[in-house]
Amino acid sequence: MGIGGKPSQLLNIPLVQKDDITTIKRFSGGGTVVVDTSSLWTTFIGRKEHFGDVVNPYPREIMQWSVDYVFGNVFERCKLDAIQRKRRLFQQDYNKEKEEEEGKKE
């Protein structure tokens, strides 16, 4: 849940307790979060001493650390995939235009 979320308004507490579902408030706050099949979500839960000298336990610093050291390769791969997808779409559009031009010449 977001930091300002009220469990009594957001959760069916008896059912959450019955099903033994763990809920936490995330530091980022905000409202409802929509997750789809292309979403990547990660949460680091711990005390300051758990992070040691690696990163200060503050939202902006943790986000930058996770981009640089944890998910850097994943993000780079996503960028490469997006570039290749754009190239394929461009090539398909180019081929289609070329075919249309050739069809007009005949």
> Is the model's pLDDT at 16 over the cut of 60?
yes
pLDDT of residue 69: 76
Say which amino acid occupies 47: R
Tracing tokens 């943790």 back to the chain, one arrives at 62
pLDDT of residue 18: 94
pLDDT of residue 32: 55
Query: Mind listing the pLDDT tens digit for each residue in 78-91?
Result: 776 777 777 777 77
Cα angle 38, 64, 5 (rounded to 5 degrees) comes to 65
| DSSP for 22-79, written as a single string | ----BTT--S-----TT---------HHHHTTT--SSHHHHHHHIIIIISHHHHHHHH
d(CA 103, CA 5): 61
pLDDT of residue 28: 63
pLDDT of residue 14: 94
